[in-house]
Amino acid sequence: MAKKYLDLIKIGYPLTNKKYVISVNDKILEAGGSQANPDVNIDGELENETVSILQSAGIFNKLNRSIK
């Protein structure tokens, strides 16, 4: 996993919420040269790298399954 995202994981885990997920996704978009998308649908429009990072952080585990 990219070292530059470790600080984002430390800040947001385990206090997972919709704003955090969107901020991680925006950071990945910006790193790739795209514009941030604060209106992204977190149920199906997240970047693949965002999903990988959140899974690695344990955000999609049983206790944190629901994002509020």
CB 1 within 8 A of CB 53: yes
CA distance 41 to 5: 21
Helices (H), the chain: 6-12, 18-31, 48-56
pTM attached to this predicted model:
0.66
* Domain region containing 36: 3-64
CA distance 31 to 17: 22
Tens digit of each residue's pLDDT (9 = 90 or more) over 4-61:
666 665 555 545 577 888 888 999 999 999 999 999 988 788 899 988 888 777 666 6
Q: What's the number of domains the chain is made of?
A: 1
